[in-house]
Chains A and B, each alone.
Chain A
Amino acid sequence: MALRNVQQEEIERLVATSKRGDPSAFGKIYDLFVNQIYRYIYYRAGKEEAEDLTELVFLKTWENIRQYKPGKRSFSSWIFRIAHNVVVDYYRSNNYQAELHENIKDERLEMQTVSRAHRHFDQTLLSSAMRELKDHYRQIIILRYINELSYEEIGYIMGKSQAGLRILQFRALKSLRNILESNGISEEDV
């Protein structure tokens, strides 16, 4: 936690410098966040779009950085909010969900043909299971456990109360567990 505090201060300092138009400070912000943003988009929009949408997030971040007001909320929550909006725009413009469901059927069929002995909880299974989740379930899991944001930050990004987030988180994990079990992965296999 102490480390996180130090990092928060450093980020706020870099943001302040970036707001004055310093590209190298923004470059450091990029270095700090690129992996996290990429992972967020990877699990929400897929591998194919991850690079393009990550680029868009950072461009929008630079363009709007002067509008960020420190103290009101953390920079992490602000940039992830931008990432969330970019993904939503992408969903709307690409009928993303409709295409996904068709793909899922093929993958589930493929997985059923693999014998239980060879199945294990790996990246492919995680990605596939995540795609089967409802979007807000997926999002809470990504933000909480993959991006490791606080409830306060997630609350701002998703526009939900912290109490609501806890319930959502529980339901999301339960749903994920059910999907994994239907694919032959029990808790012992994890």
Chain B
Amino acid sequence: MSFLEKILDKKLKRYSETEKHLKNFPLVSISGEQSIKLKQELMMRISSRREIKEETGFEKYIEKIKILAQAINPSEYFRVLLKEKLMIFAEYDRKRKLFRLRRVKFVFHWMQPRKVVAVVTMAVFVCTAFFGFAFDIEEVKAALFTELENVQGEVTVVRNVQEIPGIKGLRLKKDDVIRTGKDSRAAIRFLDSSMSRLDENGEVRISKLAANPRNNTETVVELVLNQGRLWSRVINLINKSSHFQVKAENTVAVVTKKAAFDVSVEPQGKIKVAKVSAIKNQVDVVVASSRTVTETTLIKGFTAEVKSNERSAVAQIKPEKIDTEKDTWITENLVEDEVYIEGVKEELHEQVRDQVKISPDNPLYSVKELSESVEIALTFDSLEKQKKLLIIAQEKLAEAQLLIEKGSYEKAAALLREFQDKIQKAFEWIQEHEEDPDKATEIEMKLQEILSMYKKQLALISPDDSLYEVKGIVAETETSVTPDPVKKTEQQMDQAAEKLIEAHDLAEKGEAAKAALQVEAYQEAVAQVADEVKALPLETKGEAVSVLLDAKTEGLKLLEAVAVPPVPVSEITEGTDVGASPLEISVSAAKTETLKHMGETILETQSGKTSFNVLQTLENINKKDLNGKALLNVQVSPNRVTIVSDKDYILVTPQAEEMRGAVEEQDEKAAAGGIVSADASENVGAVTEENMSTPPTADLKSQVLPRLQP
């Protein structure tokens, strides 16, 4: 080996040690996953650069297309509704699979030491395997739709300029136009269970159809009558946010609860005449001209005609009484309505029966209850648990209804208590979870949905129906889970008003005595609400009083609509009693009480100054119209309240409390005899403009004047 080679060899030996170390040194490299990710990112960057550079020569068009397309989005209503549907579908799907899985896990866990429990549990699961469809806790929701319920003759539906033959069962959509030919009619059933019938040579457009996807008892139906005659029957709207409306020219007729009304549009030369007639209950009518808007409420038996031409609309409402019996269109529709309502009641019964998977009197019912308890126990998420408990509560109510129909009142009462108990617990859960608003809101909305659904179903139940008690329970439950005192006042007054609607329906059937009882029930309910409002703290009292006053004003309108059919002149003989019937006396007393309460309520809130809410409400009350005339005129001054209503004149002062006993006695005598007593008549005067402008005399200052007889 040469000298050079020896030196190289020596150096190589030194490096070989280093080489060994290097070989043993752990290699630093990226993992397979990291490598793939890096590659993807690189590829994306490369392609994005290529895309940015890409020029099509149509950049302006592309930009515009992007901008225009951004405006195309599904409606909020559709988005929410579809999501709800998908969630229910997915949840149902999930439960079916999960329940089977949990069954297997549960059985194996409990097998060895607890054989008895295992056997029982196995028995439950075996039953559920066979009857799984019956024991699943799932919701049943009715579908909402609008369709042609019936057709007669030539009926066409125009949809997006295309004409479709109008056949029975055809589902209708927003913006559809329904046309009837000669001797033809079309009956339309709406998503809120209302019904309209279009007479021959008519045309009506559906301008709005909407339902709140979270609570489908909140509905809006709006129609535009272009020509012809349209009968409408609204049977069970229950929320303030729901309404049914028919527009004819510049006139709009709106119903927010229950009513039967007729709208027509007829050309008379160059002028078109729109006519609205209230046949049952009441209809709000609004007429707009280029300069003014006129509003009134028509009660049954009154019609208003409005004339308009192309240049201007004559916004005048001249209500007149109509003889409903002479108009065959009205009488025929009333008869058909009765058939329709019976059909709807039967459908609702079916829905209730569908909700009941196993009847309480079935031997397997206890197994079903056990299965439900097990499912609840296995649900660890508190929100999911609460949802299931609410579904069970819903089922209890349906089961109670079924039992009542079968005559098992005691068992039904127990189920109703369970229903109330579960609802109350849900309410408490909401209060406990206030710090988690998402969850609390979800359960609250579910709760309101259930109560509203039953309220709507039971709106058709009259006091002589066996299910009337259930209606009362639902109403009571609704107010018990309303923490806000103002909202509670609103609900209670709404429930009270429902009694007047029931009274109206009973009177229509000829059951005047029962109708009178309902009017008295209304008075009691209102008195109770008034007492509760008095006890409220100052910060909420003003608003509650406004709600109360507003509701009482609406109550006065409803009282006008409650009337016994008059005795025809031809039937009056010597012995015919044409004096005041018990119903008339009840209605009269209720009106007086309402006006007195209104006056006292206003005085109560004064305490030096009237709250802004109350002032605002009084201003609105003074604008309210009934059959084209002012409903009330309320004048407030520091020490008295004067209310004038048609021929009634009520004066309330702080001293009136002491005088109440005496005046009430006089009132009773006056009401019983149907005439004003001699003593009281000294203090009673006809309401003239002179009277109203002159201040009351010293004698009258501290008196509540009894009601004038016509």
- The residues of A with any CB-CB pair to B shorter than 8 Å are 1, 5, 21-24, 26-27, 30-31, 34-35, 38-39, 42-43, 48, 50-51, 54-55, 58-59, 62, 106, 121-123, 126, 141, 145-146, 150-151, 169-170, 173-174, 176-177, 180, 187, 190
Known contacts A42-B72, A169-B56; is-contact A54 B65 (Cβ 8 Å): no
Q: How far is the CA of A34 from the CA of B81 in the complex (A)?
A: 12
B-side binding surface: helix, strand, loop or mixed? helix
Cβ-defined contact, B97 with A21, below 8 A? yes
* B residues in contact with A39, CB < 8 Å: 69, 72-73
**Which 4 pairs of residues, A with B, have the shortest CB-CB distance?**
A23-B90, A173-B58, A146-B69, A38-B74
Cβ-defined contact, B71 with A190, below 8 A? no
* A residues in contact with B73, CB < 8 Å: 35, 38-39
Question: Does B466 touch A at the CB level, under 8 Å?
Answer: no
Question: Does B684 touch A at the CB level, under 8 Å?
Answer: no
Cβ-defined contact, A62 with B47, below 8 A? no
Chosen A-B contacts, 29 in total, with CB atoms closer than 8 Å, are A1-B44, A5-B41, A21-B90, A21-B94, A21-B97, A23-B90, A24-B87, A26-B86, A30-B82, A30-B83, A34-B83, A39-B72, A43-B69, A48-B160, A51-B78, A54-B82, A59-B86, A62-B89, A123-B68, A123-B72, A126-B65, A126-B68, A126-B69, A145-B65, A146-B65, A177-B58, A187-B60, A190-B60, A190-B64
Known contacts A27-B83, A35-B73; is-contact A141 B48 (Cβ 8 Å): no
Q: Count A-B contacts at CB 8 Å.
A: 98
User: Interface digits, B79-105 against A, CB 8 Å rule (1 contact, 0 not)?
Assistant: 100110111011101100110000000
List 8 other contacts, CB 8 Å, given A23-B87, A34-B79: A22-B94, A27-B83, A30-B82, A50-B74, A106-B161, A173-B57, A180-B61, A190-B64
Closest to B36 in A: A71
Closest to B62 in A: A145
Question: Does B311 touch A at the CB level, under 8 Å?
Answer: no
A-side binding surface: helix, strand, loop or mixed? helix
* A residues in contact with B89, CB < 8 Å: 59, 62
* B residues in contact with A146, CB < 8 Å: 65-66, 69
Q: How far is the CA of A58 from the CA of B93 in the complex (A)?
A: 14
- Least CB distance from A76 to B in Å reads 14
* Pick from B47, B72, B90, B98: contact of A38, CB under 8 Å: B72
Q: How far is the CA of A51 from the CA of B41 in the complex (A)?
A: 37
Q: How far is the CA of A187 from the CA of B57 in the complex (A)?
A: 11
Chain B's interface size range is 35 or more
- Least CB distance from A59 to B in Å reads 7
Q: How far is the CA of A168 from the CA of B161 in the complex (A)?
A: 34
Cβ-defined contact, B91 with A23, below 8 A? yes
- Least CB distance from B32 to A in Å reads 13
- Least CB distance from A45 to B in Å reads 13
* B residues in contact with A31, CB < 8 Å: 83
Cβ-defined contact, B62 with A173, below 8 A? yes
Closest to B54 in A: A166
Q: How far is the CA of A69 from the CA of B203 in the complex (A)?
A: 54
- Least CB distance from A18 to B in Å reads 8
Cβ-defined contact, B56 with A34, below 8 A? no
Question: Does B45 touch A at the CB level, under 8 Å?
Answer: yes
* Pick from B44, B66, B72, B78: contact of A145, CB under 8 Å: B66
Cβ-defined contact, B74 with A35, below 8 A? yes
Known contacts A26-B86, A30-B86; is-contact A51 B58 (Cβ 8 Å): no
* A residues in contact with B64, CB < 8 Å: 121, 126, 190
